[in-house]
Chain A
Amino acid sequence: MYLTKEEEDILLGNKGEMRSKLMKLIVKLGDSFGADKLIDIVSAHTVLNFGLNFVNAAATVLHEIAESGLKVKVRTTADPIIDMDYSEELSIVYPMFTLHEQMMEDLDQIGIHGFTCTPYFIDNKPKFGEYCAWSESSAVIYLNSVLGARSNREGGLVDIACGILGKTSYHGLLITENRKGDLLFRLSPDINKNDLFNLTSIGLIVGEIAGNQVPVIEGLENISNDYLKNLGAASAATGAVALIHVIGKTPEAKNLEEAFQNDKPKEIIDITISDIKEIREKYSTEWNKPPNNISIGCPQLSKQEVIDVINKLKGKKIAEDINFWICTNPETKNSIINSEYNRILEESGAHLASLCPLLTALPRPLTTNSAKTCFYSNATYRNIDDCIKIATEGWDNE
């Protein structure tokens, strides 16, 4: 690929050994996938912050980067970390976080802060057309689809390298032609499109069929950004989908012509109610005993979504042997705790947490309304009202 004089200097090691290694990583990957240049980015988001005991090699590299004194050049956020407010409830999970403290120190040193899988709800919200280097599949799909900004699915370490250099390689979804729709999904008229449970199930179907292609959905022009967040996260789990166009809703899909860039879809797929039922049966794990954990908020909830769940809990009490998790970003958690909603929350016994909902799986069984959690954590998949019913009225009454 073409490199500017400054980029070449970095690659050759004239700006330090670690900077050169990070540049080599980006250039090698870019060269393999046909990038002809590097491009400036406005923001980055990393998945490399787990602190879990299975990322020793990556944690070693992170520590070396921190020790080299390099800092991120653009706003860089990271995925959620464990929530220390719930040490008792998460006692099974905590011992696995042997690398947590060191990684937090290193991330801080590098200038990475803001721990959430929905960085666009805090201050990392790129604008239409801006280039970014994000990981976290559910965040990348939101960035490309809802915000109309541009990012490939970068990986942990690569995302940090991009954040430090302020650049990524120019290929894939950064290029307009590659954002063209491939497949058209149409929804049968009898599907209730205001029901989130239907929408996340549609997300599972779309991801499974689309793989790494660009799906276009017709018939969801009134979908909210929050609901689209949840649908997209499902597609990014069952497939490698990083961009969904929704006709009449998302910024690059005013109409079919724009979404398909004046071309025709490769295939048209009609989704019916029976497809939705089938996909739920395929991915839901039906446990034969009541859940220990019920997890809401994967991806983490927006403030409005948290308020909606809390309102549903009004006057209800979570069973003592169930942990009912509502996951959101740390800022929203604090703001809710300091609001009138905290009383309802406390009376209900639900836990408002800033952790990754995928960490709420132990001990199993787990029930969730999230298609993504269901996919990754062998969980029972139910709508939000059923989740609350199981939590407050018991398993037998479902």
Chain B
Amino acid sequence: MNKILKGRGLSDGIAEGEVIITSQPFSISAAFTFPLIQFSKKLKVADRTHELYKKDVKDKVLIFPYPIGTTTLGFVLLETIHRAIGPKAIVCERGEPLMSSGGVAADIFFGIQFPIVDQIDFKELEQIKNDSIVRVNGTEGTLEIVE
């Protein structure tokens, strides 16, 4: 049976994908705004100060400890979800309402579900290796390690 980690669901939906994980806090605004302005097909992290700089997070399940950054981050995340160029789901240890608003607004206004789960200890999360396949259930608040 697959290992299932239980957390809190912040934005509904189910998604399965390859993991990209970082132990650094993540600024969604700093990472995604520039590729959005450039109308890129991929989503290479544009934050020069981040270890994921230049890494493509399109279609990945993005895992980090907690989000940081400005109050634009909600609609920046909404834009990446709407254009389908961003990650498939986000899992972190400590979420906050600004980040959730991007996922929740995508569901309410566009009918696109983007699962976000938090409240899973980062010590558990960092056991998960890059490129592992996981299933994120934002409705139930779970992260299942598939392989």
Chain A interface (Cβ < 8 Å from any Cβ of B):
21, 24-25, 28-29, 32-33, 47-48, 50, 52-58, 60-61, 64, 96, 135-137, 140, 152-158, 172, 211-212, 237, 239-240, 376
Q: For B127, list chain A residues within 8 Å (CB).
A: none
Checking B10, B71, B75, B79 against A140 with a beta-carbon cut-off of 8 angstroms, the contacting residue is: B71
* Contact of A54 with B98 at beta-carbon distance under 8 Å, contacts A21-B108, A25-B105, A239-B68 already known: no
Q: For A211, list chain B residues within 8 Å (CB).
A: 25, 68
Q: For A32, list chain B residues within 8 Å (CB).
A: 8-10, 95, 97, 100
* Contact of A136 with B75 at beta-carbon distance under 8 Å, contacts A29-B101, A153-B98, A212-B96 already known: no
Contact A155 B74 (CB under 8 A): yes
Contact A47 B105 (CB under 8 A): no
Minimum CB–CB distance from A104 to chain B (whole Å) comes to: 17
- The answer, yes or no, to whether B53 is at the interface (CB within 8 Å) is no
A61 to B10 alpha-carbon distance, docked (Å): 21
- The answer, yes or no, to whether B70 is at the interface (CB within 8 Å) is yes
A58 to B78 alpha-carbon distance, docked (Å): 7
In residues 84-139 of chain B, which contact A (Cβ within 8 Å)? 95-98, 100-102, 104-106, 108-110
* 30 A/B residue pairs, CB under 8 Å, sorted by A: A21-B109, A25-B104, A28-B108, A29-B97, A33-B96, A33-B100, A50-B72, A54-B37, A54-B79, A56-B79, A56-B82, A57-B81, A57-B106, A58-B75, A58-B105, A60-B109, A61-B105, A61-B109, A137-B70, A140-B71, A152-B97, A153-B71, A153-B96, A155-B97, A155-B101, A156-B71, A156-B75, A158-B74, A158-B97, A240-B96
A16 to B81 alpha-carbon distance, docked (Å): 26
Closest to B8 in A: A32
Give the total of B residues in contact with A, Cβ under 8 Å.
Answer: 35
- The answer, yes or no, to whether B36 is at the interface (CB within 8 Å) is yes
Closest 6 CB pairs of A and B: A155-B74, A57-B82, A54-B36, A58-B75, A135-B71, A155-B101
